[in-house]
Structure 1
Amino acid sequence: MPRQQQPAARPVRRRSYDQFCATARALDSVGDRWTLLIVRELLAGPRRYTDLHADLPGVSTDVLASRLKDMEQSGLAVRRKLPPPAAASVYELTRRGRELLPVLTALARWGAPALDERRPTDAVRAHWFALPLRRSLAATAHTGVVDVHLDEGEFHVRTGAVADGEEVYGYGGAPHADARILLEAELCLAMGRDEVTFAQAVKDGRIEVHGESPLATELRGA
């Protein structure tokens, strides 16, 4: 007997608010739990699945895989294979995904007052302080890369305009940073809550600035 032809599989339709509204359409893409936090991680550059899972405490492997697949389908992220000798795939944001930077920055500013006390169950990663710190550096005239040292670890941020494809911030120290600063995480939070400016904290001795570049000189207030 001839083999019965199977009907073509239909693509799974993602949940939608079904509203002709720009906000609703945006939430169709990024409103699911964990999606914006994945964007936060990928703003620091391409990441392997295992690295994403390690820096997103609490997410299950199934949920992470599902969200990454949704982000690929929505055009927010792509997966590519690293060239030899690496044998791993990484996820990275598309231009559309990187356009979420001001959204994450605004959310970080809005949520900063809620960080009045760290709960015993709260995880922490040093680079999670990058967005509020970068906003504090938004007025700098010189562009460049700043290494940031906290007790929780190191990361680096880019000041000024970010070219298409450049990372906004990154993990660990940068190979050729223009300046290096030392401060406490609590001070990053205070700046995120607009309680103190970067210049005031430098003047008060709460931020140490090292380096001889024009950017470092500007950050010292010299």
Structure 2
Amino acid sequence: MAEVKLFGFWGSPYSRRVEMALKLKGVEYEYVEEDLNNKSPQLLQYNPVHKKVPVLLHNGKPIVESLVILEYIDETWGDGPSILPKDPHLRAVARFWAKFLDEKCLPACSKAYLSAGEEQLKAKEEAEELLKVLDNEVKGKKLFGGDSIGLVDIAANFVAYWPVIIAETLGVELITKDKFPNLCAWMDEYVNSNFFKEHLPDRDKLAAHIRTWFQKTSQVKR
């Protein structure tokens, strides 16, 4: 068995976060692609609570939840760039923004994409209010981590890449340069970075996946 194994799904921003962190640290690992419609017994064994990807297996011991995994990688492999700042206050700030992304921004954006009519208009307004906060936070910065890749940049991969493809695929546009100039500048920096580009899903494949996922989700909601 490989010392480090990652159970993930190619189209999941959460799985991609972990791949970014492992590559940033130079950690060799075995990748196991999961079929989310037919999850493997190993995935269910290693993550019996949430039954989701990603799961990092290190020396036979599972670690789950992407933000928890990112911190584990940073603490376990000291070589390579730090994912979290060394300063305790800055570490706390980075954790705050990572949680803000997962607990506030991503659910609000998902609701805006999946709703319709008046409900969608309200959901878009709520999502845009949160995105304004992010836009202000990255103002004057190359990356959320300053000049180097950090926890928040890795956690924000969904914001950097997925909304553009969702807008093209579903016709629902949330992030525009006129409303979010700083966030869009960060997105441009992100998708044009050699490191980040290597860890983003194929554009056409992701668009097809989003289209299928949206159709299935819409049918369930009906």
- Give yes or no for TM over 0.5: no
Q: Which has the larger radius of gyration?
A: 1
| TM value normalised by structure 1 | 0.27
> Structure 1 or 2: larger strand share?
1
> Structure 1 or 2: larger helix share?
2
Q: Which has the higher contact order (CA 8 A, sep 6+)?
A: 2
| TM value normalised by structure 2 | 0.27
